[in-house]
Amino acid sequence: MASHSATTASSLTSAAANLGATEANATTTPRAPKRTKLHGRAFYESIGSPKYIVAPMVDQSEFAWRMLTRSFLPADEQHKLLCYTPMFHARLFTEAPKYRDSHFQPIRGPLTADSPRPDSPDYVPFLDGNPEFDRSLFVQFCANDPAYLLSAAKLVAPYCDAVDLNLGCPQGIAKRGQYGSFLQENQELIFELINTLHKELDIPVTAKIRILDTKEATLKYAQNVLRAGASILTVHGRRREQKGHQTGLADWEYIRYLRENLPKETVIFANGNILQHADLEKCLAATGADGVMSAEGNLSDPGLFARPPAVGEEGREYWRSKDGSRGGWRVDAVLRRYLDIIYKYVLEQKPPVRRPLFMPGDDVAWLEEASSTSFETTQANDDSEGPARKKHKSANGSASTTTTTTTTTTAASSSSSSSLNTTNNSNNPHLDKKALQTSPNLVSMQPHCFHLLRHFVTHHTDVRDLLARARNGSEIGKYEAILSQVERKVAQGLLEYERTGGSSFDVDVLETLYQETEDSKDDPESSAQARRENKRPWWVVQPIIRPLPKEALAKGALQLSKKELKAQAAKKAAGGGGDAEATVASVFGSKEKEVKKTASEEALVPVQGQNGGETAVESLETTTNYPKSELVSG
């Protein structure tokens, strides 16, 4: 313990030194006085008792995305939405100014220990944590060193409502760096990380965890986090191993168990299995949590937290099927909103004047004009911006190279407008084109658009190709070209839906899904029901539903390890079930046995006891009692 304390003291000295001499030289910059620091439920109520939460996502819950998500809520309900920043690396945030300034922008210019605070006359808010439109906001860090975590937290504390510790990241990079969910075996360090912020920060500290192998172990884990000083506990109802093709279902029963066994004043957020708006209330009812957090569901549909419009009040942005059973935000409407937010807040210029979104019954002259104009991507564009052009065999067997042909609807869509509109920005003294290249809001645009348009681009690969070339949002003209294509194709899809009386989707798509559901209605490990319930036309934003592990295995997306193959062979030799049954049982049965064996070999998992000492948590059953959920992702 002494050596650990010495290491911590050394790290504190190092982290402080890395902040630079600016702090020591500060003589005139007024410092913000200590806030009235609230804790637990009192703090939660002070920020409006938010029920809905945008999850922290690496490079994906940045300012512009948070603003887009908020834009779907009525102004008087936006206080119900709490947002987290993307996960930041505490050491890099402390040591590397470029990393810091390219991820968190509460003010213009570099963020240092001497930057103007909100109570300073020199304080001019910019984007992240802006009191006018980006609150409530929690900033999340991953860390394994209390000193670096504290140094990073002190930099952001003036511009947010709380600092969150990531204890849930299951990715390989977290394993290599020993942070996120790979700290859960070191409960002593987790306690120290949280407790350091609890004691030293002017604002509360919160934490996000994953469940462990048993409810009892998860409860001990949660108690340790709360005892360390966490004001809010977010629980992702999946284990560390549940990722990729093994993601499977989140177990809401574990969260309910925590709700029933932790003090009533404990504030709990539930995370996992949120695919659509209706799932929010289902989750709250099933878990008893105070709020519900969404990650992937929000990425697929930023309007997820908003109540759907009433029948007859859909307007131009929301689509509803003819029988009224299905609805969702149109992809062209969501993409428009997103680009307009980028223009207004990031590029700081007025968005282009746009025609109203198309609805059947509108004039279609613009569609005919759009279809009559086209441009070919040049060889230079193919070589410099995209992958090599595909070669197709001609009728005589010789290889010929084809170029992608797309249509445009406005002059803004042409390849010559793929850079910033410098005319509109010429009078903006703040615009720094170089800084825009690394703006977190512009760097994230391409992955966001791929997520939003995931179902759309499977039908329109030419738009996918355009998006693949639009790497950075500073090339805003390319995104205007994409929007033009999306608007035109959505209009055509809506016209086809009307022309066929709805059968272009209701019959051609849904009948297949109904049959899949009927074939697998007694199988708790099938995602067919979720696919059917969440399926929308390609012109509507909708969740990406992963196959459950059993389905991934059957499709070959999930492979057995040598150990699992050996277990399968042994079971088959002993007269086990049929091939399919043996395969599935060997994967998931051996996984459970593997967990038990590891626990017995490593003996016990150290967890802080109720009196501050260490207790031991034995490994129990890893099976879940929540197999009936039809939710697959999120």
Residues with a known catalytic role: 169
Q: Which of 234, 222, 131, 282 is nearest to 631 (CA)?
A: 282
Token pair listed for 618: 């034995």
Pairing between β-strand 81-89 and β-strand 232-236 as defined by DSSP bridges: unpaired
Token pair listed for 389: 């052009």
Burial profile 606-632: b = 16 or more Cβ within 10 angstroms, e = fewer:
bbbeeeeeebebebeebebebeebbbb
Q: Which amino acid, one-letter code, is at 408?
A: T
Query: What is d(CA 418, CA 244) in angstroms, rounded to the nearest whole number?
Result: 35
First to last CA, the chain: 40
Q: Which of 95, 41, 29, 370 is nearest to 233 (CA)?
A: 41
Residue 531 CB contacts under 8 Å (≥ 6 apart), including other chains = 513, 516, 545
| Beta-ladder partners of 268 | 233
Kindly provide the residue ranges of all beta strands, DSSP E only, lying in 453-610, ordered along the sequence.
605-608
Q: Which of 213, 81, 230, 101 is nearest to 155 (CA)?
A: 101
Per DSSP, helices labelled H in 31-162 are: 40-46, 63-71, 90-95, 97-101, 146-156
Give the three-class secondary structure for 286.
helix
Helix (H) or strand (E) holding 167: strand 162-167
Helix (H) or strand (E) holding 320: strand 318-320
Q: Which of 236, 273, 262, 304 is nearest to 52 (CA)?
A: 304
Which DSSP string corresponds to 424-480? HHTT-TT--HHHHTT-HHHHTHHHHHHHHTHHHHHH-HHHHHHHHH--STT-HHHHH
Q: Are 343 and 436 in contact (CB under 8 A)?
A: no
DSSP 347: I
Helix (H) or strand (E) holding 235: strand 232-236
Query: What is d(CA 456, CA 486) in angstroms, rounded to the nearest whole number?
Result: 9
Q: Which amino acid, one-letter code, is at 231?
A: S
Which DSSP string corresponds to 243-279? -GGG-----HHHHHHHHHHS-TT-EEEEES---SHHH
Query: What is d(CA 440, CA 428) in angstroms, rounded to the nearest whole number?
Result: 20
Q: Are 63 and 441 in contact (CB under 8 A)?
A: yes
Cis peptide leading into residue 136 (ω within 30°) = yes
Token pair listed for 152: 């990073």
Residues in the chain: 634
